[in-house]
Structure 1
């Protein structure tokens, strides 16, 4: 399957957005957040399209700012995902306050970086969060009640 043959279609249903968010596979950059999930249906294995959804909450700004942010995300996705995305995968692009003001070239660089990081093979021994730091597992607290009973 050729990468040039990939096309974009739009996620519109709330359950699709919730399913992608539930996978907790995301990458955060300064200007946007990218969530990713494989498509669950059987047709996904033989499809040549990528589904993408766009979200801009009220944190981004007023209605004008939210519409502008989503419009910019659509254009960036149209430029990047057909060449770097994977067929049969759903992506959700979430606008941040910087999405409205950051230069277009920076948005493209951020989306390319996020998608590349999301598709890297994961080593379970080196779990890292989106900042690149190793995740710290919570230390178990000692059972103080058991210690008091022994004393």
Structure 2
């Protein structure tokens, strides 16, 4: 599946847009502890569940690389390890594919150039953040509604 999105920048340790705050996130696979992402530093810390809290993102991993998919300042963002990718600017593609023998593959391209990719052991669909990102970005309704109002 190839999904055209927009990556404004990938810069180690720096956001594509100025970090505004913290976003409440949870693990993509199932329920569990909530965490708070500091959008500027990328640090995540566990926080107590608040009955009125609105989740603004999810976290998981692609292989050995941690990822957080969230909305900041109304824009979808993807933290890939120490890098931040703005997903609402024109010029990029996100690819996800199921591979042979249960493997999966995820790639981010900017202006026709691969800026990040990884093959990894497949995980159940509800826990595969690479697949989730690709599916959300490929569906305009889902893309527009996901994580709306998730700021802390």
Q: TM-score, normalised by structure 1?
A: 0.28
* Structure number with larger C-alpha Rg: 1
Higher helix share: 1
Higher strand share: 2
Q: TM-score, normalised by structure 2?
A: 0.28
